[in-house]
Structure 1
Amino acid sequence: MKSKDTSKARQTRQFIIEKAAPVFNKKGVSGTSLSDLTRATGLTKGSIYGNFKDKDEVAVCVFQYNVDKLVNSLFREMDKETSPVEMLLALPRAYGKRYRQIIDYGGCPILNTATEADDTHEALCRLTVEAIERLKQRIASIAAMGIEQGTIQDHTDPDAMANIILALIEGGSMLAKVTKQDYYMTDSLEQIRAIILSRSNLTTATADKDNVLHPRRTK
């Protein structure tokens, strides 16, 4: 019976996290109220706080859920490729495919949380840094593998390359969200593509097998 109860409790916690995830991503921690959570989940205050200590605990679990959902989807696309250059090119392509969905969801959870939590929520700030580092390390490790295999130029700094790619993704995402102009994001993704290709030792035809992100803006 205890095992059954534990399983039901886990399912309820997961249900609350999934229903609350878009709410926190759009409204942030300070902007999300308990009534927002009861509306989103259809549960009572007692049911929510019977599974979580407080709103902060829900927010932390939701952030981890949102980041895992985004990052894992990007990594899955990268893992479909076989060469380091193709794996790197898969990142802007995958982000481009998901960009409209990300915007409809409230924007990038890493950017949203970083903006709100940097001075106000120590736990979320720490988790945001860890999420950024997780992405950075994956990009840098792929670049380093490419250097070792000879498909990426050996003078490339993997960490610097990862930093620039992340800055373009998050900066483009922020500007596009605020201005409601998608070209900030698509231009950033095109620039990431160009940086990767400029560091590649492969021919453009070999490395850039899929040059479709999103249509560019009309002037």
Structure 2
Amino acid sequence: MEMLSKSARTRQLIIEKTASVFNTRGYAGTSMADLTAATGLTKGSIYGNFENKDAVALAVFDYNYNRVSAYLKEKIQAADHAIERLLVYPDVYRNYLKVPFLRSGCPILNTAAEADDTHPLLRKRASEALEFWKKSIENQVKRGIARGEIKPDTNPAEVAVILISLIEGAFMQAKVTGRTAELKMAMNYLEAMIRSLKI
């Protein structure tokens, strides 16, 4: 195992300790005082490792997004059948409160909602993550069609757009209202939609 330099360890500590702060409070709502409180480091120490708050925010977005992606990928790869793989999404998001790093919300949704006009670099990062997510769902559907597990007339792009829209829209409602009833309702609908694709 490769040993990290002191500087790399400090950078990693800053990212890990501020990840939930940024994801909960957003970019604009997170102050330097929040970052120093979360890390226990001085302002100088943070700026010694990152050029500015923007650089911390970008690194944190990558960290939060990569954690969610790795978690989903592990669950998806544990299933073989295309339908079971797609069902990972409603299952995970229906029970998002059981996943510590999802409790503060979806990093793509949180970032996209806030950074649309105010932070072009964060917006670009969220846009790229969304495109990657869409492509990976499309690929799962195409794999399922090729293997004879999903109806051949299924439109992979349509499935991806609807799946993402249901998840993000339901997640947004859960965050705004503090209730999960609508999220569960949407995930039940998504599950039924996915099951209807089976041959």
Structure 1 pair 191–67 and aligned structure 2 pair: CA distance change class (3 A): same
Aligned to 1:130: 128
Aligned to 1:59: 57
> What one-letter code is carried by the residue in structure 1 that aligns with 2:176?
V
Provide the C-alpha distance between the structure 1 equivalents of 2:37 and 2:153, rounded to a whole number of angstroms: 54
| Paired residues of 2:96 and 2:103 also in contact (CA < 8 A) | no
TM-score by length of 1: 0.86
Q: How many residues align?
A: 198
Provide the C-alpha distance between the structure 1 equivalents of 2:34 and 2:51, rounded to a whole number of angstroms: 17
Q: CA deviation at 1:95?
A: 2.4
Structure 1 pair 34–185 and aligned structure 2 pair: CA distance change class (3 A): same
TM-score by length of 2: 0.94
Q: CA deviation at 1:99?
A: 3.7
Match of 1:82 among 70, 73, 80: 80
Overall identity of the aligned pairs, in %: 44
Superposed, 1:41-190 pairs within 5 Å as 41-101=39-99, 105-190=103-188
Provide the C-alpha distance between the structure 1 equivalents of 2:151 and 2:12, rounded to a whole number of angstroms: 45
Q: CA deviation at 1:105?
A: 3.7
Q: CA deviation at 1:35?
A: 0.7
Q: Does 66-75 or 159-168 show the bigger shift?
A: 66-75
Q: CA deviation at 1:100?
A: 4.9
Q: Which has the larger radius of gyration?
A: 1
Q: Aligned-pair RMSD on alpha carbons?
A: 1.7
Provide the C-alpha distance between the structure 1 equivalents of 2:170 and 2:92, rounded to a whole number of angstroms: 15
Provide the C-alpha distance between the structure 1 equivalents of 2:104 and 2:90, rounded to a whole number of angstroms: 19
Q: CA deviation at 1:63?
A: 0.5
Q: Structure 1: give runs of 5+ residues left out of the alignment.
A: 202-219
Structure 1 pair 99–169 and aligned structure 2 pair: CA distance change class (3 A): farther
> What one-letter code is carried by the residue in structure 2 that aligns with 1:18?
E
Residue by residue over 1:107-154, the C-alpha shift from the partner in whole angstroms, topping out at 9 and shown as x without a partner, is: 111111111001111010011011111211111101011111111111
Provide the C-alpha distance between the structure 2 equivalents of 1:97 and 1:55, rounded to a whole number of angstroms: 32
Residue by residue over 1:48-85, the C-alpha shift from the partner in whole angstroms, topping out at 9 and shown as x without a partner, is: 00000000000000011001111211111111001111
Q: Structure 2: give runs of 5+ residues left out of the alignment.
A: none
| Paired residues of 1:103 and 1:177 also in contact (CA < 8 A) | no
> What one-letter code is carried by the residue in structure 1 that aligns with 2:75?
E
